[in-house]
Amino acid sequence: MAEVGGIAAERLRSFIERIERLEEEKAALAADVREVYAEAKSTGFDVKTMRQVIRLRKLDRDDRHAQEHLLDLYKLALGLEG
């Protein structure tokens, strides 16, 4: 592979290794999340319900951000302040 494509092969390898590194970090964080859930569960909390709470809180956060932009978008859609 080293001589196939020359420079391009090196660039490709670089991109792929960057991605793999990032994915590893993501996987490590996912493991951390699992640990926290496990700890919470052992403390007596219900994991399934916690997941729902977290999902809903995320919706809330997204919604807050949504609100901040909605009026601006209406104005834009109406051709005001464009």
Partner DNA sequence: CTGCCATTTTACCGGC
Partner DNA sequence: GCCGGTAAAATGGCAG
Three-class SS state of 64:
helix
Quick one: what does residue 10 bind among a second copy, DNA, none, with the CB cut-off 5 to 8 Å set by partner type? none
Position 30 contacts DNA (CB under 7 A): yes
Both tokens of 14, joined, read 């670089």
**Cα 46 from Cα 40, distance rounded (Å):** 8
Q: Nearest CA to 38 among 50, 28, 47?
A: 47
Quick one: what does residue 42 bind among a second copy, DNA, none, with the CB cut-off 5 to 8 Å set by partner type? DNA
Position 55 contacts DNA (CB under 7 A): yes
Please give the residue ranges that form the binding site for DNA (CB under 7 A): 23, 26, 30-31, 34, 37-38, 41-42, 46-48, 51-52, 54-55
